[in-house]
Amino acid sequence: MDNREILTRFKSGALDRQQVLAMLTGNGQAPAASEVPVAAEQAEPPPPADGFAVVAVDCAFPGAAAGTAGFWEAALRAAPEEPGGTEADAFDPAPLRIGPDEADALHPAERLLLHRVWHALEGAGHAGARLDALTGPDGEHRAVGVFTAAARPHTAALLSRVLDLSGPGHNVDTGPSSYLTAVHQALGALRTGECAAALVAGGGGGTAVLLLKPLAAARADGDRVHAVLTASAAGHPGRGTSADLRERLRRRASATAPVLDEEGAGAVALVRAVLQLRHGVLLPGPGRARPESWPAGPRTALAGVYEDDAPYAVVALREPPPAPPGPGEEDGPHLVLLSAPTPRHLAATAGRLADWLTSCAQAPGPGAVARELRLGRAVHDCRLAVVVHGTAELAGSLAAFAHGDAASAPRPVRDADLRGAADEPLLADGLPETRDYLAALWRGRRFEQLARLWLAGADVPAGDRTGPPGPVLELPTSAVLPEDGPKDGPKDGPEARRDG
């Protein structure tokens, strides 16, 4: 070893001062390769015993229909990845309150990401009052951190602005490990209390979306928990390999049960692990030619990207805890409020909900549906209100409204289009006196007054304090009506990257 290499190894930390002096004076030997220290991964304090809940998951990968249902079906068949549509053409800017000029300027990748993020949040009941209630350390509302992976520049800022989120925002690009590194950073922000929830989106070659919350908070809020993240690590192996980190996390994750290893593209590996834990089914993979039932007992998994001489990341997961029983259905009648950005969206969304209620083998009661629409959906300018006693009445009334046949509705459906209405609201929604007044109307079940206020522009759901939020009810998401304008967006290139 010549003097230049000795000094290089000293600067890298592989040799200490005494070893360097000994070798430069001819009194020492270079240490064996096994003695060269490995750069430590990014250390994190031990995670809380509860871990972190995945309360929303969505994806769009090549070779499968968009959404977790389509991806799961393709994974069960072990379908090979094939080039396919990524739903960039299905982008609907109206629910996101994006104007036509900005919509035209969005890159197709940004369109896809926004579409899947909105679908994930609304499907998990976090597009309205529940999202507003996520409070940060300084009392700010909608304190959701945004962590994007392998995305275009400023994508985290775009999501935060469009969704009106007040938490930290970071773009992560560490190559193949970008998505899992973004998850690792999101868990760090949750541990330190920087945000009440964390949105992780992106992935490269497709899109994956997760919404994460501390497990204790998720259970208290009635969220559906798809899986629990228990540990994570990210970093660079330096002169060593990722084997030590991999084995350490394997031991942590598999303390009580064998571990499922999912490797490869980080976003795909993590979504596969989450869905296998949620369904209790092992997908085809090494040693499994077909899906297998996952034996009962504590189920754990690892999702990792391990590449020597490259950034790595790994996330440990376990199965979700049993869901607590929800509250029973209250006696009717029930006030059901629905809104959408345009009359077409309102009719289409009412029709989707009516079809689902009619076809559902065990349809929820109208009280549960009404509560979920109040807590889980954003408030828009085109609105309807209907008072019903049963699920059949609700389904029939919504179907009649969707088809423009009000005369056949079992119960009267009233609607209003507030677009272009006066900026001055009927009630000042931000005042505590307004919230107290609305809360009194809800407690007294003054549905006629509440319906009139709702159709006049008041944020009536914000005043509902009639009880605990109850478990999230997964309703069909709002209708998507793709725009008719240009869908290609700006092309990649120097100007696009500069403006991105």
Measured in degrees and rounded to the nearest 5, phi and psi for residue 86 equal -120, 20
Q: How far is 303 from 265, CA to CA, in rounded Å?
A: 9
Q: How far is 361 from 372, CA to CA, in rounded Å?
A: 19
Host domain of residue 357: 334-420+427-463
The predicted structure's pLDDT at residue 250: 61
Measured in degrees and rounded to the nearest 5, phi and psi for residue 162 equal -65, -40
**Residue 151 shares a structural domain with residue 221:** yes
Evaluate the CA torsion angle 94, 99, 101, 102 in order and state its sign.
Answer: negative
Q: How many domains are there within the chain?
A: 2
**Residue 85 shares a structural domain with residue 125:** yes
Neighbours of 351 (CB within 10 A): 16
Q: Note if the pTM is more than 0.95.
A: no
The predicted structure's pLDDT at residue 257: 53
Query: Is residue 194 within 8 Å of 166, Cβ to Cβ?
Result: no
Averaged over successive runs of 10 residues, the pLDDT of the chain (500 residues) comes to 54 53 52 36 48 96 89 84 52 92 91 94 93 87 93 90 94 92 95 96 88 94 94 78 66 60 86 95 88 88 81 89 76 94 97 96 92 94 96 97 93 95 68 88 95 93 72 92 54 33
Q: How far is 319 from 275, CA to CA, in rounded Å?
A: 10
Secondary-structure percent of the chain, ordered helix, strand, coil, rounded to 5: 40, 15, 45
The predicted structure's pLDDT at residue 83: 46
Of 318, 345, 364, which residue sits at a domain end? 318
Does 138 reside within a domain? yes
The predicted structure's pLDDT at residue 233: 85
**Residue 58 shares a structural domain with residue 111:** yes
**Residue 117 shares a structural domain with residue 263:** yes
Counting Cβ atoms within 10 Å, is residue 114 exposed (0-12), middle (13-18) or buried (19+)?
buried
CA distances from 233 to 146, 186, 469 (A): 19, 12, 34
CATH number for the domain spanning 218: value is 3.40.47.10
**Residue 340 shares a structural domain with residue 304:** no
Q: How far is 111 from 386, CA to CA, in rounded Å?
A: 34
pLDDT digits (tens, 9 = 90+) for 41-58: 344 444 445 899 999 999
**Residue 165 shares a structural domain with residue 266:** yes
The predicted structure's pLDDT at residue 23: 58
